[in-house]
Structure 1
Amino acid sequence: MPTELKSLHEKFDEATTSENVWKAPNLKEVLNLKPVDPVYYTEEGESDNLDSYCDSKEMGDNIEDNIPELVIPDEDICTMANPYRRALNNKVLGRKVATKLTSTMGQNIICFYLLLLVGAVAASPQHVNCPFHYLYHFGDGFTDVGNSIHVPSRTPNPAARLPYGRSSPGWPTGRWSDGLNDFDFAATDFGLPHLAPYLSMNASENYDGVIFSVARSPVLDINFFKSRGIKIPSYAAVPLNAQLRWFKNYFNSTFSSPKERANRMENSFLFLGDIEGNDIGYALTQGKSIEEVQTYVPLITRAQIRVARELIRMGATRLIIPGNAPLGCFPYILSALPSNNSTDYDELGCLKSVNDLVVSKNDYLQQAIRNLNLEFPNIIINYGPIYDGAYEVIRDASYGPNGELALLACCGTGGKYNYDGKKFCGSPQVPVCRYPNQYIFWDGIHFTHHAYSRMETILIEPALRTLGCTRSVNSTTSNLSASA
């Protein structure tokens, strides 16, 4: 560990144990920090000397001279730190967050006081109070926390090996990302971070939730795709109905009496999706037309509503059924459906016809949810606007300093979008980008840790309000925490 980082940990401990840290108007004054104190966290094989790094050709001739001029306003610091404040009330996790931040943000050169701000916010006394204490999730790779690597498969599972997990925790966990995924952030925001993948649960442990999601899984049954000549990976053969069966097995074996099961359901929040993107994506990338795939929409939606209805009859009182992300922006779709006609693309470079299909499908789902609400007026059933959150993140990246990377896969090779399905991320000789936090897409199909964090930041507040959750702070907070 570089000397600078070791020193950072010592100062972090001192700063975050201060009882008065949140009472001051300016956190920098409390911590007695310099406006600029750059820290460089090295990866294996790199120099831990800031001067030698800045003198390198990679950084350019003028970088070192410009570092003292770097000043980040408080409000910008809060914006940058926001995704990392989810280590609420966990100082150990806060230290890990501070360490990881040095290796991923700001081109590896950042303000020292930004790190301490993140640590202090991570240790803040802010809580989320929700009228439920357990989470259950059905879905695909956006929320798979390790199930797919335990599904018997005829082919190796990419998520079981590096570079998956390289950004956090540094090794593969079965998540289809360089770090955490969507629901990791959501669960922490709900104050229920201790999740377990269904296929690798420890029976002796108590969990805040169980995840039944399996990467690349569809809503519709496997025979539907076979009958249409559409192939899906063997490790993804766990459609929504099969995940529901897992849930029933888990529930009936874990809670012995009807009263126990009813109490657990009443005290839980269930999340169905995002999953249906695979039904659309598999078909489009294997030659099916937009018009044909449009005919799948009613079938997909009916299957989702059927599962939701069954969960309600089991006692569920809170459900969110999300729509689909803007598939027309995904590298794997853009690579499979190239066009020489510029009018086929929107201002971000996404395929309009595919996104129009997704919007139409999402509209159909929202109407079905409204009908389900009429059927069960005393149950909270809401739509999750994943499309809006994802598109906002992609749009912001497209107009940001690394806009040319917005539609490229970080881990991949070949073509305009750095994606080749035959040379998928994790395969031998497939390169991975140096700074995943500059990318939205990790492997061309899933998002990066950084993008998931950004999306959750956008979507979490409406979700908290919808589900009756409130934020509480047990001590006076600074305006920094309020704006983060």
Structure 2
Amino acid sequence: MKIFILFCIIFACGFFENVISNANPLPYEAIFNFGDSISDTGNAEAVFPPLNPNSPYGSTYFKHPSGRMSNGRLVIDFIAAAYGLPFLTPYLNPTKDHGDIKKGVNFAFAGAGALDMEYYIQNGLKPPASNVSLSVQLDWFKKLKPTLCKSKEECDIYFKQSLFIVGEIGGNDVFSHIKLKTVEQLREIVPVIVESITKTATVEIMKACCGGSGPYHVDDKFCGAPGTTVCSDPSKLINWDGNHLTEAAYMLIAKGLVEGTFANPPLKSAPFKIT
């Protein structure tokens, strides 16, 4: 009798726990992200030599380099937290942060472009540093898919309850075309953009927190290299290193996507506020 009562108690606890957990399910079961260094959280880190432990990257939130090209969290980190999910597991670094691939995977790779390597070769252009285009990331996803779900029915249900984010990507392709051009040539290519920037931007708004010399704190020195400095309060600036934004800027973008009107159609309501 005692064994039977104990079994009933255990069964009841398990039943109620299941009811409670299913009463308020998370809006998304998982998040899958594709992109470049704007959202890479550890894939390039798994391929290239690690940064110096004293590097300014990751210094604000993680207190050490975290595989992210910023001083702290990225837009994708804020979005995951808003939906009650952990930081996404980098595809090439699956053991990082003891991640759970069933709750999301990050395929973004720093330096990635939207164009395949063949495009650069055929057009006589200097290829990017990494051969991880968007199509390569999609191939990674296809290879991982059998691990995430087995049957077509299971996959349909699982992926319908997941959030897929593609981009930002393509900036590296544009940069490869324009980086060797003069300012005069760039003004001819993007006159409206240049005119808008010169009319509205100030040095302080455009100035990088981490970098070398010059009015915008940007030169050919990599953030954290000898001869570079870091601002005292990254939260007051938008630009982190001349190519990437600060955690504060990424948080504002995430707020606009999750809590604002940046996404069309809008994302599902998030159970947690972005802070």
Change in 2 beyond 3 A, CA 1:160/1:146: farther
- Mean CA deviation greater in 217-226 or 240-249: 217-226
Change in 2 beyond 3 A, CA 1:242/1:293: farther
Change in 2 beyond 3 A, CA 1:232/1:429: farther
* 2:222 paired with 1:424: yes
Give the CA deviation at 1:159. Answer: 8.6
Question: 1:294-339: per-residue Cα shift (whole Å, max 9, x none)?
Answer: 9xxxxxxxxxxxxxxxxxxxxxxxxxxxxxxxxx68xxxxxxxxxx
Amino acid at match of 1:425: C
Instruction: Give the conservation status (yes or no) of the 8 Å contact 1:129–1:471.
Output: no
Q: Which residue of 2 aligns with 1:162?
A: 55
Amino acid at match of 1:143: S
C-alpha RMSD of matched pairs (Å)? 3.3
Instruction: Give the conservation status (yes or no) of the 8 Å contact 1:436–1:442.
Output: yes
Give the CA deviation at 1:163. Answer: 1.1
* 2:126 paired with 1:231: yes
Query: Distance in 1 between the 2:109 and 2:221 partners?
Result: 21
**Residue among 199, 210, 221 paired with 1:347:** 199
Q: Which runs of 4+ in 1 moved over 4 A?
A: 128-131, 156-161, 288-294
Query: Distance in 2 between the 1:269 and 1:219 partners?
Result: 20
Unmatched 5+ stretches in structure 1: 1-127, 295-327, 330-342, 350-397, 399-403, 474-480
Q: Which residue of 2 aligns with 1:147?
A: 43
Query: Distance in 2 between the 1:197 and 1:445 partners?
Result: 21
Give the CA deviation at 1:162. Answer: 1.0
Give the CA deviation at 1:240. Answer: 0.1
Change in 2 beyond 3 A, CA 1:471/1:415: closer
Report the secondary structure of 1:423's partner residue.
coil
Q: Which residue of 2 aligns with 1:189?
A: 82
Query: Distance in 1 between the 2:187 and 2:123 partners?
Result: 14
Query: Distance in 2 between the 1:225 and 1:196 partners?
Result: 30
**Residue among 99, 107, 110 paired with 1:215:** 110
Give the CA deviation at 1:405. Answer: 2.0
Q: Which residue of 1 aligns with 2:254?
A: 456
Instruction: Give the conservation status (yes or no) of the 8 Å contact 1:130–1:469.
Output: no
Report the secondary structure of 1:347's partner residue.
helix
Give the CA deviation at 1:229. Answer: 4.6
Query: Distance in 2 between the 1:159 and 1:244 partners?
Result: 31
Unmatched 5+ stretches in structure 2: 1-23
Instruction: Give the conservation status (yes or no) of the 8 Å contact 1:139–1:212.
Output: yes
Query: Whose helix proportion is higher, 1 or 2?
Result: 1
Instruction: Give the conservation status (yes or no) of the 8 Å contact 1:160–1:173.
Output: no
Give the CA deviation at 1:220. Answer: 0.2
Give the CA deviation at 1:293. Answer: 7.5
* 2:258 paired with 1:258: no
Change in 2 beyond 3 A, CA 1:243/1:291: farther
Change in 2 beyond 3 A, CA 1:291/1:218: farther
Report the secondary structure of 1:269's partner residue.
strand
Change in 2 beyond 3 A, CA 1:157/1:225: farther
Report the secondary structure of 2:230's partner residue.
coil
Instruction: Give the conservation status (yes or no) of the 8 Å contact 2:71–2:240.
Output: yes
**Matched ranges for 1:303-322 at <5 A:** none
**Residue among 440, 443, 456 paired with 2:241:** 443
What's the TM-score once normalised by structure 1's chain length?
Answer: 0.45
Query: Distance in 2 between the 1:293 and 1:226 partners?
Result: 23
Q: Which residue of 2 aligns with 1:282?
A: 176
What is the total number of aligned residue pairs between the two structures?
244
Question: 1:207-266: per-residue Cα shift (whole Å, max 9, x none)?
Answer: 4211100112110012323444543553x3211000001111111244333333223212
Change in 2 beyond 3 A, CA 1:456/1:263: same
Report the secondary structure of 2:174's partner residue.
helix
Instruction: Give the conservation status (yes or no) of the 8 Å contact 1:131–1:468.
Output: no
Q: Which residue of 2 aligns with 1:246?
A: 140
Q: Which residue of 1 aligns with 2:214?
A: 415
Report the secondary structure of 1:415's partner residue.
coil
Higher RCO (Cα < 8 Å, 6 or more apart): 2
Change in 2 beyond 3 A, CA 1:468/1:225: closer
Question: 1:412-446: per-residue Cα shift (whole Å, max 9, x none)?
Answer: 112232111x3111323322222211211111000
Change in 2 beyond 3 A, CA 1:436/1:232: farther
Report the secondary structure of 1:187's partner residue.
helix
**Matched ranges for 1:39-58 at <5 A:** none
Q: Which residue of 1 aligns with 2:68?
A: 175
Query: Distance in 2 between the 1:454 and 1:139 partners?
Result: 19
Question: 1:12-70: per-residue Cα shift (whole Å, max 9, x none)?
Answer: xxxxxxxxxxxxxxxxxxxxxxxxxxxxxxxxxxxxxxxxxxxxxxxxxxxxxxxxxxx
Query: Distance in 1 between the 2:39 and 2:169 partners?
Result: 9
Query: Distance in 1 between the 2:252 and 2:52 partners?
Result: 22
Instruction: Give the conservation status (yes or no) of the 8 Å contact 1:158–1:427.
Output: no
Instruction: Give the conservation status (yes or no) of the 8 Å contact 2:82–2:270.
Output: no
Amino acid at match of 1:192: L
Instruction: Give the conservation status (yes or no) of the 8 Å contact 1:159–1:174.
Output: no
Instruction: Give the conservation status (yes or no) of the 8 Å contact 1:412–1:423.
Output: yes
Q: Which residue of 2 aligns with 1:135?
A: 31
